[in-house]
Amino acid sequence: MSNDSHKPPKKIPLYPLRFKEILRNYSFGNRNLVKIFNKQGLPEDHRISETWEVCDRPNESSEITNGPLAGYTLNECIHTYQEKLLGTEIIEKTGLRFPLLIKFLDAATTLSEQAHHSDELAKAQGLDDPGKTEAWYMIHTSEDAIIQCGNKEGQTIDSIRKSLWNEKTKETMRDYTVNSGDAFLLYAGTMHYTEGGVIFYEIMQNSDVYIPLSFRSSSEKGEELDRLRNKSMEGVHIEDGFDCKTRPITIDHGSYSHTYLLACEYFSLERIDFETKYKINTDNSKFFVFTALEDKMEIITSKTTTKLAPGQTCLIPANTGEICFKANTKASILKAYVPNLQKDIINPLRLEGIQDKEISLLGGITELNHLDNYL
């Protein structure tokens, strides 16, 4: 992926990186992302269904817009700075392959019935990408908005199969009435669908694998259509008691509150609400991705100051050191990263007196829950 002739020189020190949004104008979207976040400089002549905030896909990598690295891509910087950007833990897990894809999504209308491969199934089917576990954090919801994810009680492989052949898979999924601030963790294999009316932040494994659970628009017939449906069934996860909605945990630190929204092996998502200042330190182990939700702010390091407005995203390289977020009033940011579940999630929460059964709920109620392997 990397073009050696356009790699940034190593003499340029890393700093918090801002990116140009990659746009998608799929049919389900509208222009609500522009309205809610007052995003500037986006095209005015078509719908904006998704803005990919941080992305490193084959032939499509986020372009840096700030500082001396402006014009270079995330991929080019990864190949130049390696563990200085990604962190030692990330290099150990995924090498130089960026592990996340982060986006905003405007589901103004229907999203199709679907699921995603597990890592194992993607490998078995010879796909170029790994599996895809993803999570949704609701930013804005219309009145009585509903999403579907996971399966209703009493479903079986046979009942799901019958619903797939009859184009009724959405009737087998669990309904959730959603509100702003709700979080859902959709492990690979989780059926999901929405009628629309929701805008959410989405974090996922860096993957584009997809399992269709509707073939209404397929041109295939007969045995070939049956083969495709059977192939889809290979990737569907079903269990009674399946609950994709996580139960966030908020820790009050006085000048700021730290809300753990969800966590799995692939990513953690947290919300920080702070009064004028919030400080963190990187330790060279991992990068962080911060997205502003409320109020403008500055990200201040020992050598740089980076402005961030609501709806904008910034990647903090692993070697940054001390960082101070500064705002004029109360501000809110989302913090995304690839965690060490024991060190970054379980141990800090136990020190705050949080019980293991509460920590587990950050992974939803499912046998797929990654946290339960450590509790």
Domain of residue 62, CATH code: 2.60.120.10
Are residue 169 and residue 293 in the same domain, yes or no? no
pLDDT number for residue 147: 96
pLDDT number for residue 361: 99
Are residue 176 and residue 256 in the same domain, yes or no? no
pLDDT number for residue 24: 81
At 179, the pLDDT band (50, 70, 90 cuts) reads very high
183 occurs within a structural domain: yes
Are residue 219 and residue 79 in the same domain, yes or no? yes
Please count the other Cβ atoms lying within 10 Å of the Cβ belonging to residue 157.
Answer: 10
| CA distance linking residue 336 with residue 290, whole number of Å | 6
Q: Environment class of residue 315 by beta-carbon count within 10 Å: exposed (0-12), middle (13-18) or buried (19+)?
A: buried
Among 29-43, 71-85, 88-102, 223-237, the range scoring the smallest mean pLDDT is: 29-43
At 164, the pLDDT band (50, 70, 90 cuts) reads very high
**DSSP H stretches of helix in the chain:** 32-37, 74-81, 83-86, 88-94, 119-124, 157-165, 222-233, 347-351, 356-360
Are residue 229 and residue 89 in the same domain, yes or no? yes
4 vs 95 pLDDT, higher one: 95
At 5, the pLDDT band (50, 70, 90 cuts) reads low
The answer to whether 75 and 61 are in contact (CB under 8 A) is yes
Write out pLDDT tens, residues 330-340.
999 999 999 99
66 occurs within a structural domain: yes
238 occurs within a structural domain: no
- State yes or no: pLDDT of 203 exceeds 80: yes
243 occurs within a structural domain: no
239 occurs within a structural domain: no
Are residue 178 and residue 308 in the same domain, yes or no? no
Domain final position from 176, 199, 233:
233
The DSSP-derived string for 24-92 is E--TT--SHHHHHHT--S--SSS---EEEEE-EETTEEPBB-SGGGTT-BHHHHHHHHTHHHH-HHHHH
- State yes or no: pLDDT of 173 exceeds 60: yes
Write out pLDDT tens, residues 279-325.
999 999 999 999 999 889 999 999 999 999 999 999 999 999 999 99
| CA distance linking residue 244 with residue 137, whole number of Å | 12
83 vs 33 pLDDT, higher one: 83
- State yes or no: pLDDT of 169 exceeds 80: yes
Give the predicted TM-score (pTM) of the model. 0.95
358 occurs within a structural domain: yes
Write out pLDDT tens, residues 106-163.
998 888 999 999 999 999 999 999 999 999 999 999 988 999 999 999 999 999 999 9
- State yes or no: pLDDT of 46 exceeds 80: no
How confident is the prediction for the chain on average, in pLDDT?
93
Write out pLDDT tens, residues 240-255.
999 999 999 999 999 9
Structure token digits, residue 25:
């104008």
Number of domains in the chain: 2
At 49, the pLDDT band (50, 70, 90 cuts) reads confident
| CA distance linking residue 39 with residue 153, whole number of Å | 41
The answer to whether 59 and 51 are in contact (CB under 8 A) is no
pLDDT number for residue 201: 98
- State yes or no: pLDDT of 205 exceeds 90: yes
Are residue 303 and residue 365 in the same domain, yes or no? yes
| CA distance linking residue 160 with residue 316, whole number of Å | 43
Are residue 173 and residue 278 in the same domain, yes or no? no
- State yes or no: pLDDT of 221 exceeds 90: no
* 3-state SS record for the chain: CCCHHHCCCCCCCCCCEEECCEEECCCCCCCHHHHHHCCCCCCCCCCCCEEEEECEECCEECEECCHHHCCCEHHHHHHHHCHHHHCHHHHHHHCCCCCEEEEEEEECCCEEEEECCCHHHHHHCCCCCCCCCEEEEEEEECCCCEEEEEECCCCCHHHHHHHHHCCCHHHHEEEEECCCCCEEEECCCCCEEECCCEEEEEEEECCCCCEECCCCCCCCCHHHHHHHHHHHHCCCCCCCCCECECCCEEEECCCEEEEEEEECCCCEEEEEEEEEEEEEECCCCCCEEEEEEECCEEEECCCCEEEECCCCEEEECCCCCEEEEEEEEEEEEEEEECCCHHHHHHHHHHHCCCCHHHHHHHHCECCCCCHHHCC
- State yes or no: pLDDT of 103 exceeds 60: yes
240 occurs within a structural domain: no
Are residue 215 and residue 264 in the same domain, yes or no? no
164 occurs within a structural domain: yes
Are residue 208 and residue 256 in the same domain, yes or no? no
Which structural domain range is residue 301 located in? 249-373
At 40, the pLDDT band (50, 70, 90 cuts) reads low
Please count the other Cβ atoms lying within 10 Å of the Cβ belonging to residue 312.
Answer: 21
Domain final position from 189, 209, 233:
233
Are residue 260 and residue 226 in the same domain, yes or no? no
- State yes or no: pLDDT of 1 exceeds 70: no
Are residue 342 and residue 204 in the same domain, yes or no? no
The answer to whether 64 and 85 are in contact (CB under 8 A) is no
Are residue 284 and residue 253 in the same domain, yes or no? yes
27 vs 345 pLDDT, higher one: 345
Domain final position from 233, 258, 275:
233
φ, ψ for residue 199 (rounded to 5)? -125, 125
The answer to whether 71 and 22 are in contact (CB under 8 A) is no
- State yes or no: pLDDT of 4 exceeds 70: no
